[in-house]
Structures are given as C-alpha cells and as structure tokens.
Structure 1
Amino acid sequence: MTLEDDLTTAAANGRREDVEDLLQAGAQVNGVNCFERTALQVMMMGSWQVAQLLLKHGADPTLADRSTGATPLHDAARTGFLETVRLLVEYMADPQARDKSNCRPVDLARANGHTEVVAYLESL
C-alpha cells in the first residue's frame, strides 16, 4: 500500500487526524489510490473538517471521477451535506460541472430531496 492508499482510506473514514499525519508524512494530496481516486473524491462527505484539511493542502475540487465524471461537489450535493458543498464552492469547485449523465450538482441535490443544498447552489 502507498501513502496515497492510506490517505484515501483515512479520508473515506473521516479520520481527520490520520489525514493530517499522512499529509505531513508526504502523502500527495492529489495522489490517487489503487482505484485511481483522490482522497477528496472518496472522503466521507459529511466530514467537512476532512474536506477543509485536504483543500487547505491543495486538493483539487474540480477533479472528476474517471468512470462517472462526478466531482466531489456532485457527491456532496447528492448526499446533502451543505457545509461540505459550501466549502467545496469556496475552494473553486464548479457548480455548473456536468457528470457523464449530464447532471450538475444541483440536479443531484434536487433528485435526492436536499432542498437546502438546492437553494444554496441556485443562489450562486
């Protein structure tokens, strides 16, 4: 396993302290794991603290998943985590980005009944 595999596992499990330790140990914030995904792409979307840490270390919020075309903003909107959505937008995630199904983050939030996320994204 690589440091990036460990970093994505820690991010996926919402373990902020482990993420910080791995970044300090030299894990590349935009490095990919064995599944070709970054820590920001696989992080626990409800853990805005992990998102903030990754973004402060230079994680790219515009990187899309190769198979679906979804960005971290698509995932956060789909799952309804408003604080994570706001943070991603603050760090320049594109709210108009379209995935391979031609959906924008707001479309996914709407389809899943996340009215607060829809209202925020429509206000941009």
Structure 2
Amino acid sequence: MMMMMMMMMHDEEELTRAAATGDTERVRLLLSNGVNVNGVNKFGRTAIQVMMMGNTALALVLLEYGADPNVADSGTGSTPLHDAARTGFMDTVRLLIRFKADPNAVDHSSLRPVDVARQTGHVDVADFLRSV
C-alpha cells in the first residue's frame, strides 16, 4: 500500500513537472496512463496551477482530462484564472472560462481575476472578464 502511494506521488510529481515545463505530449501520455489530473505535487499544487499559462494547448489537455479550473493556491487564494489574467494570456483566460472557471473567485486579498488583470495592465483581459 505504501509503495503504491509513493508511486502515485511520483507520477503526480512527474505530471506537474511536465506541465510546468510546457511538455504537452508528456502530460498527455501521463494522463492517458491514468495519472490523476488533480493530484498534487510535494508543494501541494496541481498541474493546472503550475502550468505555463501561455500554453493554451497544454491547458486544454489538462481541462479535457478534468483538471479543476477553480483550484485555489493555499498561500494566495489565486486560481488558475487569476494567474492567466495576471500574465495577460487571453487565450488561456477564454479557455478557463469555457471550462467553468469562476470569474468571481476572490484571492486572499479579495481580488477577482478582473481586478488582477486591471492591476497588471491587461486591459483586454479585464474587459473580457467584465463581459462574462
């Protein structure tokens, strides 16, 4: 039992590492082999939380496999939508919304993704988020 848990944890570490480095094909392979898309790494983060926000193809794979678009970072309260809005990746923002990311989620500073986009100067993202 302990060995199985350690193997699962290793798989989830590998998944988050592949997501963080933008290795879409590795992510797809791991998920097709049954790795838990919402499993956490040793830092308590899921693949969608650590993915390269500008890699929309990677985000799509994770979301199609059931990644939770509303998972919040325990330290900041930021969701993937906050992160995509903060970095100005409109395609990822649109995709997250399509997969039911909550545009009204607030982080630990009571900021919504639209607020974060506005603060970081991503007017197009802020305008889009205001319209949903």
TM over 0.5: yes
Indicate which of 14, 36, 51 corresponds to 1:28.
36
Provide the C-alpha distance between the structure 2 equivalents of 1:114 and 1:49, rounded to a whole number of angstroms. Answer: 21
1:70 is matched with 78
Moved over 4 A (4+): none
Aligned residues: 124
Instruction: Give the unaligned 5+ runs of structure 1.
Output: none
Larger Rg: 2
Query: What is the root-mean-square deviation of aligned Cα atoms in Å?
Result: 0.8
Indicate which of 4, 16, 27 corresponds to 1:19.
27
Identity %: 58
Secondary structure of the residue that 2:15 maps to in structure 1?
helix
Alpha carbons 1:5, 1:34 under 8 Å: kept: yes
Paired residues for 1:39-118 under 5 Å: 39-118=47-126
Provide the C-alpha distance between the structure 2 equivalents of 1:69 and 1:46, rounded to a whole number of angstroms. Answer: 20
Secondary structure of the residue that 2:34 maps to in structure 1?
coil
If the length of structure 1 is used for normalisation, what is the TM-score?
0.97
Instruction: Give the unaligned 5+ runs of structure 2.
Output: 1-8
Between Structure 1 and Structure 2, the one with more helix by share is: 2
